[in-house]
Amino acid sequence: MDLLFKTPFTLIAHRGANLLAPENTLPAFALAYDMGAAWVECDAVLTADHVPVILHDRNLLRTAGQQVNIDELNYDDLQKYNVGAYFAKEHAHTTVPRLEDVLELALQYGRGVNVEIKPVLPEYAALTAECVCTVIEPYFSRIPVLVSSFEWDCLLWYKKHSPKVNLGYLMSDWEPDWKEKALELNAISLHCDETILTQKRIECLTDSIFAVLAYTVNKRTRAEELFKAGISGIFSDDPQLLSKGEAND
> Which residues does the annotation mark as catalytic?
14, 56
Name the pairing type of β-strands 59-60 and 52-54.
unpaired
Which is nearest to 41 in space by CA: 183, 189, 154? 189
What's the sign of the alpha-carbon dihedral 222, 103, 78, 93? positive
Name the pairing type of β-strands 59-60 and 66-69.
antiparallel
Residue type, 178: W
Which is nearest to 213 in space by CA: 237, 194, 187? 194
Mention every residue, 6+ apart, whose C-beta is less than 8 A from residue 68.
59, 60, 81
Q: Cis ω on the peptide bond leading into residue 216 (within 30° of 0)?
A: yes
